[in-house]
């Protein structure tokens, strides 16, 4: 199972935020990647002035304590 995380950044700025998809987790990494691209397409409408710059598919069982979520 994979969760989709997308990094969005303000255009012309170093201000960035991490979005976590609420529809997952997904059974395959391919489904996770497809969802990341769907989110990237929707970002300009949902967050004007922002653009999706990176994505990451992680397994929810990974221990994220003390790690930077990017």
Confidence band, pLDDT 50/70/90 cuts, at residue 55: very high
pLDDT at 70 over 60: no
Mean pLDDT throughout 13-22?
91
With beta carbons less than 8 A apart as the criterion, state whether 18 and 5 touch. yes
Q: Residues with Cβ < 8 Å from 25, sequence gap 6 or more?
A: 1, 2, 3, 32, 60
pLDDT of residue 50: 95
Confidence band, pLDDT 50/70/90 cuts, at residue 62: low
Q: For the chain, what is the mean pLDDT?
A: 88
């Amino acid at each position: 199972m994979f969760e989709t995380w997308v990094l969005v950044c303000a255009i012309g700025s170093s201000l960035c935020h991490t979005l976590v998809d609420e529809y997952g987790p997904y059974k395959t990494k391919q489904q996770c990647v497809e969802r990341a691209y769907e989110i990237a397409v929707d970002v300009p409408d949902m967050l004007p002035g922002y653009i999706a710059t990176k994505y990451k598919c992680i397994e929810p069982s990974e221990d994220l304590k003390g790690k930077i979520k990017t």
